[in-house]
Structures are given as C-alpha cells and as structure tokens.
Amino acid sequence: MAQSNAQTDCKPYVPTSEGDKWEITNYTHKGKETGKIAYELVSKEETANSTTFTIKAVSYDKKGEITFTNSFDAFCKDGKFEFDMAFMINGEAMSAYESMDVEIDASEFEIPSMDTPEGTQMSDGSLIVKVGSNSMVMFKMTILVTERMVGPKGSLTTAAGTFQCLTFSQKVNTKMIMKVEAYTKEWYAEEIGVVRSESYNKKMKLNGYSELSKIDIQ
C-alpha cells in the first residue's frame, strides 16, 4: 500500500484497497459453525497526516440469513493504527433492533505494530450502544476491554491461508441484560486484520472462536 509520507510508519491491520472483501466465521468451542461476518473496505480517505478506512460489516446466522449490518472506521494517524470500537458490535445481539434508532459511543482501540515487545500493556477500550424509539432507550449494551497485553508473534494457518501475526490478550466485560466477563486472545496480521480470536470464560475454559475463512483482496 502506498501511504502518504506522514503515514509510512503506520502499518494498517485491514486490507488496503477499496472493494477488498473478507469473511470471519464463528464457531463453538467444539468447532460447530454459528455464523459469519462479511467485511468490505468501502472507502479509504487520505490526508497529509492520516488515513481513514471505512468498513462495512454484514452479520449472518448459521443458516446464512442476515442478522445485522453496520459500518465502522479504522485509522492510521500519528504513526498508530486504531479501530473505532464499533467493530465489536455483536450482530446476533442487535438483530432484533435493526429497525430502531441506534446511538453508538465508541472509543478508539489501538492495535500495536508488529515490532511491539511482548508484555507491552495497551490502553483500554469502551463501547456503549443505545437502541430506542421516539427518544426512549429500550436496549443498552456496554463493552469494556481492559488488561490488554501484547503476546508472542508467530505464523497461523486458517482456511484463508498462512499469516504472520501479532498476538495479544485482553479482558472483555459485556453488559446487556446481565454482565458477562470473558477473556480473549487475538491474532492480527498486517494489511489483513483479525486472523483468529478465541474467547474464554472467567475460569479460562474456551467458549468459542472465530477465524478468517475467506479473503479477496487486490
């Protein structure tokens, strides 16, 4: 990818050409498919000191039916790559509310460079989603991501190919009707994004995982 001079030190964790498409498939801890999310890079806007990637995400259930559609941004700025935390919206949880008004308050969520030392602590992230009608809030979801730490680097193979990845772990607290505490480990590849994500309960038993299953980039 040809970055502007101000952005040459930022390596994005998303595909970099408009029209690029990729899919993440979700599985239970036993490997049974539960759905997927199809992504497309719909626009890339560059300025003298930043690049903004706008990504469309379409969530599908295990039967292939669309459950939720949203979009979010990712950024290269000041030498750092960051997602808008809206990328963590759960399509399955939101499927019943798609026709309603949705208000999103999302922090930025940095993914460190591949040369970041193992053990480096990363900043927290937060996401608040309010759903309602006629100014009345009917549903609220809060996600807090803490205890983020960079792990070892290495290669990982999925159905989409083999990728050199940076790993990190984090604690994820989700509050909807009830509060759920989980721990995740994620693998990220430059100019690709998430290659694999594993979710564990507070007893560190695997709840499920997601993998990059398809990619079509220029």
pLDDT greater than 60 at residue 54: yes
Q: What is the pLDDT of residue 94?
A: 57
For residue 139, the surrounding DSSP H or E stretch is: strand 136-150
Looking at residue 49, its pLDDT comes to: 85
Q: Give the per-residue pLDDT at 56.
A: 95
The residue with greater pLDDT, 203 or 101, is 203
Give me the residue spans of the domains in the chain.
Answer: 11-216
CA-to-CA dists, residue 207 to 74, 124, 174, 182, angstroms: 27, 22, 14, 9
The CA distances from residue 103 to 30, 51, 82, 169, 187, in Å, are: 35, 25, 21, 28, 29
- Residue 92 to residue 152: CA distance in whole angstroms: 31
Identify the pLDDT of residue 148. Answer: 95
d(CA 53, CA 41): 7
Distance between CA atoms of 121 and 168, rounded to whole angstroms?
9
Could you read off the pLDDT of 141-186 as tens digits, one per residue? 888 999 999 999 999 999 999 999 999 999 999 887 788 899 999 9
Residue with tokens 């469309």: 56
Burial of 39 (0-12, 13-18, 19+ CB in 10 A): buried
Percent of the chain with pLDDT over 70: 90
DSSP-derived secondary structure for 143-181: EEEEEEEE---EEEEETTEEEEEEEEEEEEEEESSSEEE
Position 7 pLDDT exceeds 70 = no
Return the structure tokens found at 98.
Answer: 């798609």
Query: Which of these, 73, 133, 129, 85, lies nearest to 103 by C-alpha position?
Result: 129
Query: Whole-number mean pLDDT of the chain?
Result: 88
**CATH fold of 11-216, please?**
YmcC-like fold (2.40.360)
**How many angstroms separate the CA atoms of 23 and 138, rounded?**
31
The percent of residues above 90 in pLDDT, for the chain, comes to: 64
Residue 29 has pLDDT above 90, yes or no: yes
Distance CA 9, CA 50 (A): 11
Give the least confident one: 5-9, 42-46, 125-129, 196-200. Answer: 5-9
Angstrom distance (rounded) from CA 205 to CA 199: 8
Confidence of residue 12 (pLDDT cuts 50, 70, 90): very high
Per residue in 56-77, pLDDT (tens digit) is: 999 999 999 998 888 889 999 8
Query: Residue 114: how many CB atoms within 10 A of its CB?
Result: 14
Report the distance separating Cα 216 and Cα 39, nearest Å. Answer: 10
Poorest-pLDDT segment among 8-22, 54-68, 79-93, 95-109? 95-109
pLDDT of 90 reads 62
Residue 216 has pLDDT above 80, yes or no: yes
